[in-house]
Amino acid sequence: MKITCAIPYYENSQFIEETLQWIIKDERVTEIIICDDDSNHRDFEKLIEILKKFKNPKIKLYKNKKNLGVYLNKIKVISLSTNNWIILLDSDNIILKGYIDKLELEYPWDKKTIYAPVWAKTFPGYVSQKLNWTKYENKIINSNNIPNYETDKSFHCFLNVCNYFVNKNNYLNAVTLYSNTYNQKLISCVDSFTLLTDWVCSGNQVKIVKDMIYYHRLHSSSNYVRADKRHKDIWKNTLFSKIKNHNNLIINNNFKISVIIPLYNGIEYLKECIDSVKNQTIKDWEIIIGVNGHELNSDTMKIAKLLENDKIRVLHFKEKGKINTLNNMVKKAQYNIICLLDVDDKLHNLKFEKQIPLLKNYDVISSNCNYFGDRNDSPHLVFGDLKDFNFLKFNPIINSGSFLKKKDAFFIQKYPMCIDYVHWLDLKLNKKKFYVLPEKLVFIRIHKTSFFNNSNQKYLPEIKRKYQKLFFNK
């Protein structure tokens, strides 16, 4: 068992020593990450002096070059962890051995679950009952039932404290999608509620663990005490509305999606690709895997068949060729919305939920992306309605995860070397409406056989010249 204790820190040198002296003794905690959010020089020097006293290699100190704010610093400190499971602990609070003992009883841990304490015992002085949630012990909290507690002020407090246990990768995947879109000043007083909202709206849940307790320090300089009450109330209402809107979309969704995955190379990525569809918050979909260029008794076909169930079909096409495979898969699709997906790519679990509302007004919907593998960046794209964008400048559509109507999803054998770009050019010529979301909702794997690293790009100038004439004549 390897656990990281991740501590976001800002000018709390008077409390951090007591926080560390308990957690550092526990051998199950193999790493303590402290991320200082650009504290003043005097406080940071005190922090360094305190850490030197411990002389413990578990402790790793990082300092932000500029102040990020409490919300972004919590995300930052989790991202610095080298372990998969993390206790997110405020620098002025305390957890004892019993906290981790209760976590052990929950093992094996579910990566889609935050394990939250049932009681935040306040100190020094009186013990506030507002932070006592024992009436909810062992309850599972998700987007469906959170609105039921909207009038419960004690539950509001629960939503706005962290000091919980979480899976690193799943947490970052859920909370980073909107992390740069919020007004940091406005959310600083309800940063934990904001994180929890994005967590549950990504299809995850929270379990309130019986008898799991931490100690919550009350003091005049805490972020929550200093916050503007008007900001708290405004943003809490916004977050409850966000959860309700998320629930309404899932309940009232009238669109069903056929995900088509052509498969020649890349069988080693197939399960990861399919899991990203299974993890969508929208569940009205089918998957069609089109194995092409392999014998019926090939290893590729056998492995793909193992994944087949009532929502996943595996089709066999003896001849190799992506265009024919795609078109045959579209013919077999049950639903009117087609989602194109390359086998080596993955979808963010909000991909469908974010794109579905746009289907009423647009023919092709795509989104921004993150590259991973041999690259770790994002492309330069244009976002929003592409009515006035010149597609001859560059391809503005990320193919994987794109939605289009079934009638528009049949590819033509015109330029088989760049079929995606050519298809978008054809649809643009036919006055189809395109929309690109700015959120990074798909992860594109870059490797030696991907489009970025093969010879197909040399055909782009020729394609652009020919389509220039077509657009001009039209």
Q: How many Å apart are CA 259 and CA 358, to the nearest integer?
A: 17
* CA Rg value for the chain: 25
| pLDDT score of 127 more than 80 | yes
| pLDDT score of 290 more than 60 | yes
318 versus 242: the higher-pLDDT residue is 242
CA–CA distance from 457 to each of 27, 158, 266 (Å)? 53, 53, 21
Indicate the pLDDT class of residue 153, thresholds 50, 70 and 90: confident
Beginning with the edge strand found earlier in the chain, give each strand of the sheet holding 29-36 in spatial order: 59-63, 29-36, 3-9, 85-88, 165-167, 113-123, 205-217, 140-141
Question: Residue type at 31?
Answer: E
Give the model's pLDDT for residue 416. Answer: 65
Kindly report, residue by residue over 67-97, the tens digit of the pLDDT: 999 999 999 999 999 999 999 999 999 999 9
Kindly report, residue by residue over 407-421, the tens digit of the pLDDT: 999 998 776 678 899
Find the range with the poorest average confidence among 109-113, 199-203, 248-252. 248-252
Give the model's pLDDT for residue 223. Answer: 61
Give the model's pLDDT for residue 225. Answer: 57
Kindly report, residue by residue over 318-337, the tens digit of the pLDDT: 877 888 899 999 999 999 99
CA proximity to 316, closest of 334, 330, 298, 333: 298
CA–CA distance from 181 to each of 177, 178, 404, 438 (Å)? 9, 5, 27, 11
- 124 preceded by a cis bond (ω within 30 of 0): yes
CATH code for the structural domain at 255-473: 3.90.550.10
Indicate the pLDDT class of residue 453, thresholds 50, 70 and 90: very low
User: Could you tell me whether strands 113-123 and 205-217 are parallel, antiparallel, or unpaired per DSSP bridges?
Assistant: parallel
Q: Cβ distance 246 to 253 under 8 Å?
A: no
CB atoms within 10 A of CB 228: 12
Give the model's pLDDT for residue 224. Answer: 54
Q: How many Å apart are CA 134 and CA 158, to the nearest integer?
A: 11
Give the model's pLDDT for residue 449. Answer: 64
What residue ranges of the chain are covered by domains with CATH 3.90.550.10?
A: 3-250, 255-473
| Angle (nearest 5°) at CA 406 between 470 and 247 | 120
Q: How many Å apart are CA 368 and CA 348, to the nearest integer?
A: 11
Look at the block and give the residue holding tokens 């909370």.
Answer: 175
Mean pLDDT of the chain: 91
Kindly report, residue by residue over 213-235, the tens digit of the pLDDT: 999 998 877 665 555 555 567 66
Give the model's pLDDT for residue 226. Answer: 57
Q: What kind of fold does domain 3-250 have according to CATH?
A: Spore Coat Polysaccharide Biosynthesis Protein SpsA; Chain A (3.90.550)
Q: How many Å apart are CA 186 and CA 208, to the nearest integer?
A: 27
DSSP string, 8-62: EESS-HHHHHHHHHHHTT-TTEEEEEEEE-S--HHHHHHHHHHHHHH--TTEEEE
Indicate the pLDDT class of residue 177, thresholds 50, 70 and 90: confident
Terminal alpha carbon distance of the chain? 65
Look at the block and give the residue holding tokens 């194995």.
Answer: 291
Question: Residue type at 465?
Answer: R
| pLDDT score of 188 more than 90 | no
Q: Cβ distance 269 to 341 under 8 Å?
A: no
Kindly report, residue by residue over 204-214, the tens digit of the pLDDT: 999 999 999 99
The model scores a pTM over 0.85: no
Q: What are phi and psi of 296, to 5 degrees?
A: -60, -30
232 versus 254: the higher-pLDDT residue is 254
Strands (E), 51-142: 59-63, 85-88, 113-123, 140-141
180 versus 261: the higher-pLDDT residue is 261
Question: Residue type at 413?
Answer: Q
Tell me what the mean pLDDT of segment 356-364 comes to: 94
Find the range with the poorest average confidence among 121-125, 211-215, 411-415, 431-435. 411-415
User: Helices then strands (H, E): number in the chain?
Assistant: 16, 17
Q: How many Å apart are CA 159 and CA 236, to the nearest integer?
A: 10
315 CB burial (10 A radius; 0-12, 13-18, 19+) = middle
Kindly report, residue by residue over 367-404, the tens digit of the pLDDT: 999 999 998 899 999 999 999 999 999 999 999 999 99
Strands (E), 346-452: 346-347, 364-373, 384-385, 403-405, 434-446
Q: Cβ distance 347 to 277 under 8 Å?
A: yes
183 versus 168: the higher-pLDDT residue is 168
Tell me what the mean pLDDT of segment 353-360 comes to: 94
Tell me what the mean pLDDT of segment 15-35 comes to: 96
